[in-house]
């Protein structure tokens, strides 16, 4: 089993309209079936560019600890900056990686020092500070350029997804307004080898909670693992499809928690190994709201046995975006329910009839997430 590869060149507005529509439909199927796919960036990002990013990342993580900790996130807003090994926490357990996190400019006005309810050495609440950069000026220049490229990519993929969902031009314009001022996140991650017998993960099983993730990784295989649930149904029986819908409902879980594999959901962990010229793309939880669960944010985890580097970019909605089910999706769900093809999409369309997806302000949702991302006590188990 492997994830589909979607060529970016066929999703561009300048491409042949028929080929673009057909590719958007493939993208749509990947979002329904997997929530993950490869995006072939041939002609958009050169290997020399990504190799330079990898080399800059390695040079930073090779610095002595005291040098890296000059831009430690605890010196600022506990979101932007360097995080030490095991400081990031997933499901209450430390992740065996170190990282540098950057965000879009703060959406908040500056807080006066000593303001109640704020955190960090500088008296800042989460996400209200400024990005902290390594001393090498090339690092900031190259990575800010990459951010610009990924923001362009985000809009291209979003528009292609609107085609796959059969949204009208006006509906796409409304969706675009929610994401074009993206509150993006850039992570630069270094993974040391997990020690023999270590019972944790380089990054534990989780769902991404925004919009789209574009992950560039070095050539290491077997590191990124994606949970693919068993097919909901291959039967044409409405009764079987209803049972499948119940299984999908269990898999979806709560928006803030994600599905619990340990609760008995049947499926398979597959490796999403790097493919030359591609980034791995996956969808976040906001797409579950927009599509009433037709698209799903999929569990994934990282397990490294060597020194490796990964650069995920998270293309998110605007901080103040009110994310709610898209009107055009209701039209598509009705069409799917009327179709004789009793597929995974059919099961999800049935489920949408009985599942409430409440609107959520993205920034509020994000703040709840960021508040629990880091061990601020230093008391988590270390190896």
Tens-digit pLDDT profile for residues 155-169:
999 999 999 999 999
Q: Please name the residue that has the structure tokens 């709201």.
A: 289
* Angle, in degrees to the nearest 10, between helices 327-337 and 344-352: 120
Number of helical (H) and strand (E) elements in the chain, helices listed first? 10, 16
Per the domain annotation, does 151 fall within a domain? yes
Residue 243 counted as domain residue: no
Q: Which residue is associated with the tokens 């040391």?
A: 192
Predicted TM-score of the model (pTM): 0.85
Q: What is the pLDDT of residue 252?
A: 41
**Cα–Cα distance measured from residue 333 to residue 329, given in angstroms and rounded to the nearest whole number:** 6
Strand partners, 346: none
Residue 63 lies in a domain: yes
For residue 226, the model assigns a pLDDT of 81
CATH of the domain at 141: 2.60.120.330
Average pLDDT over residues 41-52: 94
Percent of the chain with pLDDT over 70: 75
| Contacts of residue 272, Cβ cutoff 8 Å, sequence gap at least 6 | 3, 36, 38, 224, 225, 226, 280, 300
pLDDT in tens, 84-140: 887 766 665 666 778 999 999 999 876 665 555 445 555 567 788 999 999 999 999
Rounded mean pLDDT of 212-225?
84
pLDDT > 90? residue 228: no
- Asked whether residue 344 carries a pLDDT value surpassing 70, the answer given is yes
Rounded to whole angstroms, the maximal C-alpha distance in the chain is 63
Q: What is the DSSP letter of 70?
A: G
Both tokens of 150, joined, read 């990924």
Asked if residue 246 is part of any domain, the answer here is no
Local confidence band at 222 (pLDDT 50, 70, 90 cut-offs): confident
Q: Write down the pLDDT at residue 93.
A: 65
Average pLDDT, the chain: 81
Mean pLDDT of all residues in 334-355: 80
Q: Is residue 356 part of a domain?
A: yes
Q: Residue 69 gets which letter from DSSP? A: G
SS3 call for 321: coil
User: Is a pLDDT exceeding 70 seen at residue 260?
Assistant: no
Tokens of 294: 């037709």
Would you say residue 241 lies in a domain? Answer: no
Tell me: pLDDT of 366 over 60.
yes
- pLDDT cut 90: percent of the chain above it: 50
DSSP code per residue over 205-273: EE---SSEEEEEE-S--S-EEEEEEPPS-----HHHHHHHHHHHHHHH--TTT---GGGT--EEEEE--
Residues 214 and 312: beta-carbon distance below 8 Å: yes
Mean pLDDT over 228-248 rounds to 49
Q: Which domain holds residue 276?
A: 5-110+118-233+255-374
Q: Is residue 274 part of a domain?
A: yes
The SS3 call for residue 334 is helix
Mean of the pLDDT values across residues 44-66? Answer: 94
Most confident region among 160-169, 186-195, 357-366 by mean pLDDT? 160-169
Which two structure tokens, joined as six digits, stand for 244? 């499948």
Mean pLDDT on 325-339: 90
Tell me: the pLDDT tens digits for 269-290?
887 888 999 999 999 999 999 9
* Position 244 in a domain: no
What's the structural domain count of the chain? 1
Q: Token pair of 19, please?
A: 């080929």
What are 27's two structure tokens?
Answer: 């993208």
What's the CA gap between 176 and 70, in Å, rounded?
38
pLDDT grade, residue 63 (50/70/90)? very high
Query: Positive or negative CA dihedral for 24, 26, 29, 35?
Result: negative
């Amino acid at each position: 089993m492997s994830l589909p590869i979607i060529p970016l060149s066929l999703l561009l507005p300048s491409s042949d309209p028929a080929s673009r529509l057909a590719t958007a439909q493939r993208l749509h199927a990947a979002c329904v079936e997997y929530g993950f796919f490869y995006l072939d960036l041939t002609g958009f990002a050169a290997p020399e560019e990504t190799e330079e990013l990898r080399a800059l990342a390695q040079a930073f993580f090779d610095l002595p600890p005291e040098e890296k900790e000059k831009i430690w996130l605890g010196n600022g807003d506990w979101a932007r900056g360097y995080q030490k090994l095991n400081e990031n926490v997933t499901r209450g357990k430390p992740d065996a990686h170190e990282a540098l996190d950057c965000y879009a400019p703060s959406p908040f006005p500056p807080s006066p020092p000593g303001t109640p309810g704020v955190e960090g050495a500088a008296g800042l609440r989460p996400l209200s500070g400024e990005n902290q950069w390594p001393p090498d000026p090339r690092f900031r220049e190259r990575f800010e350029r990459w951010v610009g490229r990924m923001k362009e990519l985000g809009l291209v993929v979003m528009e292609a997804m609107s085609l796959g969902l059969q949204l009208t031009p006006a509906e796409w314009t409304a969706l675009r307004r929610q994401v074009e001022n993206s509150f993006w996140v850039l992570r630069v991650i270094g993974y040391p080898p997990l020690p023999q017998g270590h019972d944790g993960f380089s990054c534990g099983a989780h769902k991404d909670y925004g919009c789209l993730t574009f992950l560039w990784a070095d050539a290491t295989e077997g590191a990124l693992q994606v949970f693919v649930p068993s097919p909901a149904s291959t039967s044409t029986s409405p009764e079987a499809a209803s049972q499948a819908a119940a299984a999908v409902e269990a898999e979806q879980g709560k928006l803030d928690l994600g599905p619990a594999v340990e609760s008995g959901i049947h499926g398979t962990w597959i490796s999403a190994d790097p493919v030359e010229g591609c980034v791995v793309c996956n969808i976040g939880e906001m797409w579950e709201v927009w599509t009433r669960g037709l698209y799903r944010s999929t569990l994934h985890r990282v397990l490294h046995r060597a020194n490796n580097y990964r650069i995920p970019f998270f293309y998110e909605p605007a901080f103040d975006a009110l994310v709610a089910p898209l009107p055009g999706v209701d039209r598509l769900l009705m069409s799917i329910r009327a179709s004789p093809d009793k597929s995974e999409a059919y099961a999800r369309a049935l489920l949408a009839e009985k599942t409430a997806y409440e609107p959520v302000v993205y920034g509020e949702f994000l703040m709840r997430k960021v508040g629990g991302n880091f061990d601020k006590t230093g008391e988590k188990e270390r190896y």
